[in-house]
Amino acid sequence: MQNTEIIVKPNDTETCELGRQVELIRQQQEREFQIGVYVSWAVLFFFLILAFSGLKIDLFGFEIKTIALDIGFITRSGPNIAEGIVVTIILSTASIALACLLALMGALGRLSRFPPAYATSTFYISLVRGTPLLLQIFFLFFALPQIGIRLGPMTAGILALGLNYGAYMAEIFRAGIQSVDIGQQEAAYALGMTRNQMMHRIVFPQALRLILPPIGNQFIAMQKDSALVSTVGFVHEILWRAEKHGRRDARHLEALLVAAAFYWILTIIFSVFQSKIEDRLSKGVRE
């Protein structure tokens, strides 16, 4: 073979062809990675199921006992525990809505140069972040009635979770608002917009794009933290029901596993939903 043949300068169509091949290979590698991940998940899931299958496995002469579950209990109590899913969803959704509202006000207070607004915001954030969520829940359920304030169980639960998450999320909102380039504000002002118009029309829409993923993350966490409200005994969400059934039949293992499964499924469904939203948002940015 002659040397000259190797030193061919690729013309445009050839580079295009090479580019397509590179892209195809990259896609193929990506697919293989995905398949590998799915298979590994399936294997891990299989072992998890196996661990609770009750089977006796003979492994090279060693007998391995797996955990046996009371299937009868699960089929009897499962549907009733499942009814708690609706309560959990309502509780966590209403709480995150309240938290968003408080977080927005908290963030605006943190960014304000008006001392009372700034102080109110930092005071709220400090107080809530400085005390345990469980204490706050107990306070709303048990301490308030002592001074004559009786809230409905759902109201108290939503207030406790919303107040708590609002304080943490205020920092997320603040960071989102601050990350919008200052030039956007200046342009709005130069065009004669008021501060309210500038925030509402220019800053918030751009900040929202940045804070939606972390808000989703907080919502996922909230779905599980809502279980803390079960400890006071008045909100009949997933964990409360599981505990009740588990105690009655002395089947805590089964009851908690059923509850865990429900929480996990909820989280997985919302995570898929969230990653779809994030894909959409990131496309908008690249466009």
Partner 1 sequence: MTQPIQPSSMVEVVDLEKFFGTLQAVKQASFTVDIAEVVCVIGRSGSGKSTLLRCLNFLEQPHHGSIQIDGVRVMARPDGRVDPAQIHALRLKTGMVFQSFNLFAHRTVLENVIGAPIIVKKMMIAEATDLGLQLLEKVGLTDKKDQYPSRLSGGQQQRVAIARALAMQPKVMLFDEPTSALDPELIAEVLGVMRQLVEEGMTMIIVTHEMDFARNFADRVIFMDQGHLVEAGSPTQIFDQPQDARTRQFLYALDHQN
Residues binding partner 1 (CB under 8 A): 181, 183-184, 186-194, 197, 201-202, 205-206, 209, 285-287
Residue 251's Cβ-count burial label (10 Å; 0-12, 13-18, 19+) is buried
Element (H, E) at 142: none
State how far the Cα of 283 lies from the Cα of 271, in Å rounded to an integer: 18
Residue 226 tokens read as 């809502």
In 3D, which of 220, 222, 110, 111 has the Cα closest to residue 163? 222
Round to whole Å and give the CA distance between 274 and 217. Answer: 8
- CA 107, 227, 212, 286 dihedral sign is positive
SS3 assignment, position 61 = coil
Biggest CA-to-CA distance, the chain: 97
Separation CA 229–CA 240 (nearest Å): 8
Identify the CA nearest to 226 among candidates 144, 152, 142, 164.
164
**Helix ranges restricted to H, 139-203:** 144-146, 153-178, 182-190, 195-197
Report phi then psi at 8, rounded to 5.
-100, 125
Place of tokens 């919008």: 180
* Two structure tokens written together for 142: 């048990």
- Structural contact between residues 130 and 167, judged by C-beta atoms closer than 8 angstroms: no
